[in-house]
Amino acid sequence: MAVIHKTTLVPGKLELVAPWLAAQPWYVGTGRAPELDKSGGFRLDDPEGEVGIEFLVVTDTSGEDEPRAYLVPLTYRAESLDGADHALIGTTEHGVLGHRWVYDGTHDPVLQAQLLALIQDRAEPQAQSASDTPDPTVVPTLNGPALPVDAVATTVSHGPDGTELAVEIPAYAAHTLHLVRALDPNSAAPADPALRAHLTAEWQAPDADHRVTGLLAVLRPTAS
């Protein structure tokens, strides 16, 4: 299990994410620079214990309309990831672990593998801010059998509707893992009989008086 250190991070996560967020195709612009609050999220364990994996939920309060929450998967590495300069969000100094490279985790093969495992109920989500503590508010739902364990994400594409990971499985039909990035409170899985799995989770509502639950990801066969 990953150990959560109560220490400093300079610059902080929200400082790193804000300018990067504004440049994403799924970001709903407000005409101003994003002003972010941390609203929730969870972690996954790297089986090798090397890469930090976090699914961060941030809320942008910069607009005059209702604040909007976004899903930002991140990975933290002690060394740069080869071939992933395009996915680098920035670097930071961790008070215990030292220099860390912070990536858009959708391009990191470690996060991709663990996300595929999670949505098929093969990985246990962990609390964002506590060591060795499962998070029961993160709920994967399978519709039928899971995919073979050798399924891998091969390509990543970002668009106004979110992020899609192409999932390839030897001698098996291709699938697509869709990540919702602009989150919708109280959203549910679409009524699609072909849907293989979906993932929901909780995050803090902007008024801070209650938590909401919404859809984070769906796994379905790739349309031919």
Cα 84 from chain centroid?
A: 17
Measured CA to CA, the distance from residue 60 to residue 62 in angstroms comes to 6
Q: Which pLDDT tens digit goes with each residue over 4-33?
A: 777 777 898 999 999 999 999 999 988 899
Q: How sure is the predictor about 195, in pLDDT bands with cuts at 50, 70 and 90?
A: very high
Task: Give the model confidence (pLDDT) of 93-107 as tens digits.
Answer: 987 777 999 999 999
Closest of 223, 219, 147 to residue 180, by C-alpha = 219
pTM comes to 0.94
Q: DSSP 3-state assignment of 12?
A: coil
Q: Quick count: other Cβ atoms within 10 Å of Cβ 127?
A: 17
DSSP-derived 3-state class of residue 119: helix
